[in-house]
Structure formats: C-alpha cells, structure tokens
Amino acid sequence: MYIGAYIYMTKYSYKGMKHIINDDLFKSGIIFMIGSISVALLNYLYHVFMGRMLGPAEYGILGSLFAIIYLSTFSSNTFNRVISKYAAEFKGKNKDGCLKKLITRGFYKISLYGLIFLFVYILLTPYIAEFMNLDDTIGLIIVGFIGYFSILGSVITGALNGLQKFIWQNSLSFVSAALKLGFALLLVYLGFGVHGALIAVIIGAIVLLFIGAYSLRKEIKINGDSFNSKEIYLYAVPVFLSAILPLLLITFDQILVKHFFSSIDAGYYAAAGNIAKIIWFGSGFLVSALFPKIVMDKSRGKDASKLLTKGLIYTSFLVLIGVGIYFATPRLIVLAIYGSDYLPITAFIGMFGLALGLYSITQVFIVYNLAVEKYKFLWILLFGFLFEVAGIAIFHSSLSDIIKISLLAESFILAAMFVYNRKEIFKNNGHK
C-alpha cells in the first residue's frame, strides 16, 4: 500500500513539475531570472565597490543621488510599459506597420520632450542641492543626463519586451551594467569620486541605446502605418502613476533620510536599502515577462487571471526564501557585501528585506491591473505613499523608525491589493 501511494505521489509530482517546466511563463521567467541575477550581481558589485572605495560619507551622497536616478530611470517604466503594451498588441494582431511607427515616433517625441524636462531640471538643481545638503550641483546635473538617456533607452527595451525578445532585452541590460561597473571602478580609482561613479552610469546607458537600435533593425525597416495615438496618450497617464508611486515608496525615504540625518547615517541607510533590494530583484524577475503575456492574452480574448495567480505564487515563494535568509544571517550578509564599516545596519536588514519583498509581490498586482486596464488600484498606491511620507516626517528619531514605517506602508498596500483583485484570485482557486 505504501509503495503504491509512493508511486502515485511520485507520478503526479513528476507531472506537476513537468507542467511547471513546460509553462511558457515559467520559461520566460527563467530567461529573466538569469538576466536579473546577472544584472543584479553587477549592480551590487557596483554599489559594494563604491561603498568600500568612497566610504560611508561620500557613499551617502552617492546613495541620495541614486534615489533621484531611480526616480528618473524607473519612472521611465511609463514609456517602457506603454511601448511594451502596444508592441504586444500590434504583434498579436499582425500590425507590423503600426509597430514600426510606434517605435520611431515614440523615440522622436520622447527625445524632444525629454530635453525640455532636462533643461527645467537643471534650472532647479540649486534648490534640490540645498534641500539635500549637497555642496555643489555637478552630481545633480550628471544625474539629469542619466535620466534622459535612460528614458530614451526605455523605448528600446519596451519594444523588445512587447515583442517578447527577452534574450535581447536581458543581454542589453547585462552589457549596460557591466560597462557601468567597469568604468566606475576606473574613474573612482583615478580620483573622480562620486562624479566618476555617476559618469560610468551614463556610458552604460548610451551603449544600450546603440546596441538596442541594432536589435530592432528589422522592425524599423518595415513601412509604417498610422494608428490612434490618442488612445496611447490616455493609457500613459495611469501607467505613469503606477510607475512613479511605487518608485516613490522605495526612493523618497532615502531623500528624506539625507534631509533628516547625517551623511554617514544616509550611507548606512543606502547600504541597507541596497541589500534589501536584492530580495526585490531576485524575486521580481517574472514581472517583465508577465506584462506582455497578459496583454497578448487579453488582445486575443483570453482570460489572463491565471497568469496573475501564477505570478503571485512564484514571487511569494522566492520572497519567503530571501526574507528567511536575511533574518537568519544578517551579520554574515553585511560583512560579505559591505564589510565591517557597515555593521550598524545588521539590526534592521531583515525588516528592510521584508518591506522590499512585499513590494515585489505588489508589483505582480500592478502589472496585471495595468495589462487588463483596471486603474482604481492607483488610489491604494497614493494612500500608501502619503502614509509613508507623513510617518517619516513625524517619526524619524532613528533609521529603524524609517524602516518600520516603510514596512507598514508596504503591508497596507499589499493587503489592499489582495482585496481589490480578490475575484480573480478566488476564481483560480475554485471559489466564487
């Protein structure tokens, strides 16, 4: 009897595992997992070496500037996801001419409007420097150019994502991250300090543009067809809000820390945040593959809610593993990544990792709702962000207070997202 039960369980466990391995989302996720791990490793080597070479005080300045970089580069997710959505739709409906027009017109308009915003931003840098207690505006100006080139790159990566050219997309990210690391080591070693670390980011972003344009050469050569651009502009509004609000949740705290605390404390917080982001990068690789697949299913009249359930299960499992490791071995992690100078952050990287883990799961809900064009979840993100800012403004006696407030904000948002999408989740679990 026991042997028969064992054979039965083995047989169906094998079938279940085979089903997962053959799942298209899982296969695409593997590509992003390899790409994400590789890029995350290079990015963390960048921050580890910069943290060690610059020291806590200068690294605190770099960390606060990177908060602005994240606001600009990750807000480019607006363009990335808009281009990705319509590239997937046009490809699904065999509208190759519209695809060519989408890429070329998108690149032209974004480059033009981006220059205008860059000019306005540069005019504001003296006021930003004063708020962040920075001695000069050079670093902020470099950050502006990083944001400009990154936004241009989002047109390329968005098109590759929508066309599901995931290998090209991840290869571009890898090359850009490798160049950033290599040039940062060289320029900081030569004595350029924080400015050298930032210039290296620009080099990586520019190279991504050239190689990315080459990867889309076939799509660009097709004769262009017109399409309703008004629909795209209207869709860009909720996409922008869904990109900027979550990003503010994990970057504005760093800016506030630089405002309320010393440069050394800001350096500690930046290091703890970068360690915590490992969980986000390590568990969130499915999101990029999930979005175009949901869009394509919807454009073909299919039910995409099963993809939401799969994304939540896979991501939550990875978050659970990562958070468990952070709480079990915080001292070992800090010593291995940043060294003994950063041991004060040992006490709270577990909490910080949990906050970023919840953020990673929330991203699955965000991309699903965007793909199926449900937008009321934006109110949840807005309330969560305002709660975090108000909490930090009132309670900031220690870095631990900041992290606890961030964790509370992320917990509220995730719980509210579950309620918002409960019908889709319960439908795929046999409930009505």
Q: What is the mean pLDDT of each run of 10 residues along the chain (432 residues)?
A: 41 44 59 75 85 81 80 72 78 71 80 90 89 84 90 84 77 88 93 91 89 77 65 79 80 81 82 84 73 76 81 88 90 84 84 90 90 88 91 84 90 93 75 45
Structure confidence at residue 6 (pLDDT): 36
Q: What is the pTM of this model?
A: 0.65
Structure confidence at residue 228 (pLDDT): 65
Q: For residue 2, tell me if it sits in a domain.
A: no
Could you tell me how many residues make up the chain?
432
Q: For residue 318, tell me if it sits in a domain.
A: yes
Q: For residue 199, tell me if it sits in a domain.
A: yes
Per-residue H/E/C for 340-360 = HHHHHHHHHHHHHHHHHHHHH
CA distance 238 to 366: 11
Domain count of the fold of the chain: 1
Q: Give the model confidence (pLDDT) of 102-140 as tens digits.
A: 877 878 888 888 899 899 999 999 988 888 778 888 889
Q: For residue 7, tell me if it sits in a domain.
A: no
Name, in order, each residue with C-beta under 8 angstroms of 421's C-beta and a sequence gap of 6 or more: 308, 365, 368, 369
For residue 259, count CB atoms less than 10 angstroms from its CB and return exposed for 0-12, middle for 13-18, buried for 19 or more.
middle
Q: Give the model confidence (pLDDT) of 237-295 as tens digits.
A: 887 887 778 878 877 887 788 788 877 888 888 888 888 888 887 777 677 777 777 87
For residue 84, count CB atoms less than 10 angstroms from its CB and return exposed for 0-12, middle for 13-18, buried for 19 or more.
buried
Supply 115's token pair: 């220059």
Supply 307's token pair: 């993809």
Q: For residue 358, tell me if it sits in a domain.
A: yes
Q: For residue 10, tell me if it sits in a domain.
A: no
Enclosing domain of residue 311 = 25-427
Q: For residue 13, tell me if it sits in a domain.
A: no
Q: For residue 224, tell me if it sits in a domain.
A: yes
